[in-house]
Structure 1
């Protein structure tokens, strides 16, 4: 049985850990609220870009520019599919990362049966480590810290690299795999295809602007720019939504850890008081025994 001093040391250690977890939780709560605000801004920007794109497509036609057209492959040629994996740059968020990697591996196996090779593009340091540990080769990676505020400039830089890969023929399709935010503590791994763009879906979902369109630049260049900007906005929204899910998962993990510590502290306190009561009882019995011995000696 542990001594009272040992239990007191363990209780103090648990209180220190609990204090640390509360600090992490408080920081995650702040970042979660900020990420939700950033998501609203991203959705507003994407809506504006989509409106301009719909107007351009309505005026100039829906044919894809040469740089964004689908790649032609032979019957027996394998299609190269880029898979952007949006993971966090740190842990302590439950199965947020491992669940996404498991989904990525599942998608990879399905595409392989369809004669498609998956090229993993990792945005987030944690996913890169997990993929390498699972034996998968990383085609391209970028360290975008999801724990800090991510600007659209960071995402546009990633899109620039992806554009170079697509135009060079290194990838023929592009999917984004991220954790879609449902509600607090709930998220679902989701895969969406963004390359090549599906113009028919864009025409159906986007509402043209009512303003008159005055085009001073090359129409094809304008269309290509807006299409890539649309894809960048889609990636940015997916990244921000993934960040919201990450901080939500971390908050839930911290709550669970704090609850487990409280439960363990309660068990140790009961054990502490039990041992303390036993020692007090033992001390009282020893005093009574000594008093009896003294009385027997007097008589």
Structure 2
């Protein structure tokens, strides 16, 4: 059985840990509110942009073509893995790695065997993980420290240029989509090549009439790069909100577990102390009886 001093030290250590996890939960909750506001504002914009592209491409039966819509035989693939810069967020980062591995297993086994799968890591955890495995493209470990459209735009432009130059035949984003504080969903979305824009099922495109200046084709071609950058930025915002939600949940569970452990340790401490007192009393009684018998 552990000594009283050892149990006391463990109680102090667990109490300190509980205070830290409680503080981290509060910090994550504050950051989550801001991140959630950002993604809730971003979603309508991204949906509206996609709706405009759908109307432009479908209104007169035109297809979205150009450098970003070229369909090639998939020999070289770029996977953009979006993780966090820090840990202590439960299975947040490991789920992204599992999602990437599952994607490769299901769709890109031949390309991976030939060494033609490259990774763009957004977030330090992805950078460290794929940096040890080679084929890492770009360095975007500081995106979340100064999160803005401009910082994400640089990564999007690198992926777009690589596809345009024929370095990659397909570009896919893997990230955590924010659903609520306790739930994040792994998504794998194809960024390039783009498919002809499709309107949402509940949207009506046939009744929308635009006056085009310049031509519709030129407008669509100018909107496509913007849409691609917005798509990646939205994925980063989703991941950012998911990270804080996952960390808040993880720290909440850690705080609860620390509380349960404290109860157990305090019970152990009391039992150990009672056992020590009982032992001392028995020794005193035994000593008194020995003295009485000696007389």
Q: State the TM-score, normalized to the length of structure 1.
A: 0.84
Contact 2:79 2:117 in 1 (8 A): yes
1:66 equivalent to 2:62? Answer no
Structure 2: 5+ residue stretches without partners: none
Name the structure 1 match of 2:177: 180
1:95 equivalent to 2:97? Answer no
Which whole-Å CA distance do the structure 2 matches of 1:82 and 1:32 have between them?
A: 30
2:137 to 119, 139, 160: 139
Aligned length: 292
Name the structure 2 match of 1:83: 79
What SS class does the counterpart of residue 79 from structure 1 fall into? coil
Deviation at 1:38, TM superposition (A): 1.0
Name the structure 1 match of 2:106: 110
1:36 equivalent to 2:33? Answer no
Q: 1:257 to 1:241 in 2, by over 3 A?
A: same
Name the structure 2 match of 1:275: 272
Deviation at 1:86, TM superposition (A): 0.9
Name the structure 2 match of 1:26: 26
Q: State the TM-score, normalized to the length of structure 2.
A: 0.85
Deviation at 1:254, TM superposition (A): 1.4
In the TM superposition, 1:1-299 aligns within 5 A as 1-58=1-58, 62-73=62-73, 79-113=75-109, 117-133=116-132, 135-146=133-144, 148=145, 150-199=147-196, 201-202=198-199, 213-217=210-214, 219-289=216-286, 291-292=288-289
What SS class does the counterpart of residue 108 from structure 2 fall into? helix
Cα RMSD between the aligned structures? 2.9
Which whole-Å CA distance do the structure 2 matches of 1:85 and 1:9 have between them?
A: 42
Q: 1:31 to 1:198 in 2, by over 3 A?
A: same
